[in-house]
């Protein structure tokens, strides 16, 4: 008979899991717990802050990294080593740049394919149309 260790002080979002004969604790993190944390790479350098979480059509997760005011990147979740007071990642080389465009009215950064500004709602014209 298999016996599972009992964890009297288990918190919400924690559960025990057995894989390959080893028992370990699985902790789920909520978006609110991760957003805003600093991201530190394997060389103990600050890479940026967690802006949000993202996922792809095939179900893969990523962290949206804010790197200064002008730049955002995606970091695939398999590059994350540990989440605590900060987020430790393997390397900053796994960051994928996100093309952005700035709203001419409020200066908010929007995804390149956005038709409207997320902040003020202004229509974001195509550059070709603006030149005509």
Most confidently predicted of 53-57, 68-72, 99-103: 53-57
Quickly count: other Cβ atoms within 10 Å of residue 6's Cβ. Answer: 7
Q: What tokens were used for 124?
A: 């974001």
pLDDT exceeds cutoff 60 at 14: no
Whether residue 104 contacts residue 120, with contact meaning beta carbons closer than 8 Å, is answered with no
Helical segments of the chain, H only: 31-34, 127-131
pLDDT exceeds cutoff 50 at 132: no
Whether residue 118 contacts residue 112, with contact meaning beta carbons closer than 8 Å, is answered with no
Placement of tokens 């789920």 in the chain = 28
Which CATH architecture best describes the domain 30-98? Roll (2.30)
Domain ranges of the chain: 30-98, 99-132
Stated pTM of the model: 0.64
Measure Cα distances from 39 to 3, 13, 21, 74, 120 in Å. 38, 23, 33, 12, 29
Spatial separation of the C-alpha atoms in residues 42 and 89, rounded to whole Å: 6
SS3 38: strand
Q: What is the pLDDT of residues 16-64, one digit of tens each?
A: 666 677 766 667 778 898 999 999 999 999 999 999 999 989 989 999 9
């Amino acid at each position: 008979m298999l016996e599972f260790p009992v964890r009297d002080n288990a918190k919400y979002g924690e559960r025990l899991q057995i894989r390959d004969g080893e028992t370990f604790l699985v902790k789920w993190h909520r978006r609110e717990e991760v957003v805003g944390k600093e991201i530190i790479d394997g060389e103990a350098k600050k890479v940026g802050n967690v802006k949000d979480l993202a996922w792809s059509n095939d179900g893969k997760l990523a962290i949206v990294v804010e790197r200064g005011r002008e730049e955002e990147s995606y970091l695939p979740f398999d590059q994350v080593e540990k989440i605590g007071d900060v987020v430790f990642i393997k390397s900053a080389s796994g960051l994928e740049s996100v093309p952005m465009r700035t709203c001419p009215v409020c200066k908010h950064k929007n995804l390149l394919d956005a038709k409207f500004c997320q902040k003020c709602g202004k229509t974001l014209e195509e550059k070709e149309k603006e030149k005509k």
